[in-house]
Amino acid sequence: MSIKRALVSVSDKAGVVDFCRELSQLGVEIISTGGTKNLLAEAGVPVIGISEVTGFPEILDGRVKTLHPAVHSGLLAVRDSAEHQQQMKDLELGYIDLVVVNLYPFQETISKPDVAYEDAIENIDIGGPTMLRSAAKNHKFVSVVVDSNDYAQVLEEVRAEGDTTLDTRKRLAAKVFRHTAAYDALISDYLCNVLGDPLPERYTVTYEKIQDLRYGENPHQAAAFYRKPMAPAGTLTTAEQLHGKELSYNNINDANAALQIVKEFTEPAVVAVKHMNPCGVGVGETIAEAYNKAYNADPTSIFGGIVAANRTIDAETAQPLSEIFLEIVLAPDFTPEALEILTKKKNIRLLKMGELTSSEARTSQHVVTTIEGGMVVQESDVHSITTDDLKVVTDRSPSGEELKQLLFGWKVVKHVKSNAIVLAADDMTVGVGAGQMNRVGAAKIAIEQAGEKANGAILASDAFFPMGDTVELAAKAGIKAIIQPGGSIKDEESIKMANEYGIAMVFTGVRHFKH
């Protein structure tokens, strides 16, 4: 076997002229279509038009040109089948040994702002995927290239042996089916969004690998980092790493948790995260003030953690950041002076995020969680509230300052693993109780962590109180105001307990379970 005839039709024409020129010099006949044919001809590469092979013109504005038996018989014929050989001979059909195709730029088209539906549909490739699939199916005999990065290896093998190896053809075929599956998944996703059907009867997603990771959650687990096509700016998948070694699996999860929390705030804010839970959150007039509050919220737990800021890191902020061990600092940007300070630390990772969009301005995305044998899909929790959404249920209404702290605590508790309790005062967290099996346990942890700072603080709970014991515990610690969803059959018990201790309590009507 050898490659004698190639069909080349590409939208992305990078490198294709040099590739085809060398194929031609190696004695390979080049067949091509439309713009690719014109490009090759202008470059002086011998090329045959597809109509000379099919005996049929390209019609319907190029929609139909390769969808023809003369093309697909040449791709699908089983070369060691006497019956197929005879049919090809009787019908005077020729074999095609190599297909080089990449597809209409559907993703690039729908990425354009306000793209017209008609333009999107027009950029759905039909003939290209059909040729790719035919060639890939018959990879025992046919080579197929969908990625220009494979041009060099194909040329190397054709120079050496006149053909690619079977192992290479298998690898190329597998890449083709991944490529066409991703292409179709993107089209399906686009049409589902247009139709307002985000959770169809078949849920297909596609992601592009960013990098292999050293390991997963633990060293014995393999892992890789993937990006969703058209991932929005201000996400980890679009971040620019300015310094430090590559991210680990746990780094990525922790950094994403910190990023989601810091996006809750429009004022300067800093979030410190450890094991996907916030250990300190602060807001201030400046990012340096916000960091000082986040640090003082829990100076012990921040060690070895992740810090996220929603403003550019300046030298004033960078200096205290450099004085402790941190895994990652992520921010919209870093001043040159801040970079000079922080890059002196070898083991810190610095991520430039670009402009961050607050939760209030974000639209919900799908969250996919795999389970053994399947997955569950839900909308992301981007719900936010204002004072107008709060219902005062106690005799005492919260003061203006208490309302401010209640809303602050609510933004944080939304991102703490359930059962979750957050104590806050002076625009910073003072105690966080995360991931407990009962709410009283979470409250005890938060209160113990806060110590004397609990006196006069507010308490935020991610879900309702099933009984009054959490309120009583909070009251004895000096908590002055509580924010919680409400909705328990024992709400009156909690309200009565709050009234007995003079605590102001508001209901949001919304819970934020986070498992």
What does the alpha-carbon distance between residue 239 and residue 214 come to, in Å, rounded to a whole number? 19
Q: Is 259 exposed, middle or buried (0-12, 13-18, 19+ CB in 10 A)?
A: buried
Question: Can 137 be counted among the known catalytic residues?
Answer: yes
Q: Among residues 149, 146, 148, 147, which one has the least CA distance to residue 129?
A: 146
User: DSSP code of 200?
Assistant: -
DSSP codes joined into one string, 210-259: EEEES-SSSTTS-EEEEE-TTPPSSSGGG-EEEESSPPPHHHHHHHHHHH
| The token pair that represents 240 in the structure block | 């620019």
Question: Can 383 be counted among the known catalytic residues?
Answer: no
What does the alpha-carbon distance between residue 505 and residue 488 come to, in Å, rounded to a whole number? 14
Q: For residues 377 and 367, is the Cβ–Cβ distance under 8 A?
A: yes
User: Residue 104 carries which side chain, given as an amino acid letter?
Assistant: Y
Which member of 13, 68, 137, 366 is catalytic?
Answer: 137
What does the alpha-carbon distance between residue 286 and residue 302 come to, in Å, rounded to a whole number? 20
What does the alpha-carbon distance between residue 506 and residue 452 come to, in Å, rounded to a whole number? 24
Which member of 275, 352, 366, 404 is catalytic?
Answer: 275
Q: Among residues 413, 459, 420, 422, which one has the least CA distance to residue 436?
A: 420
- Preceding omega of 419 cis (within 30 degrees of 0): yes
Please identify every residue annotated as catalytic. 137, 275
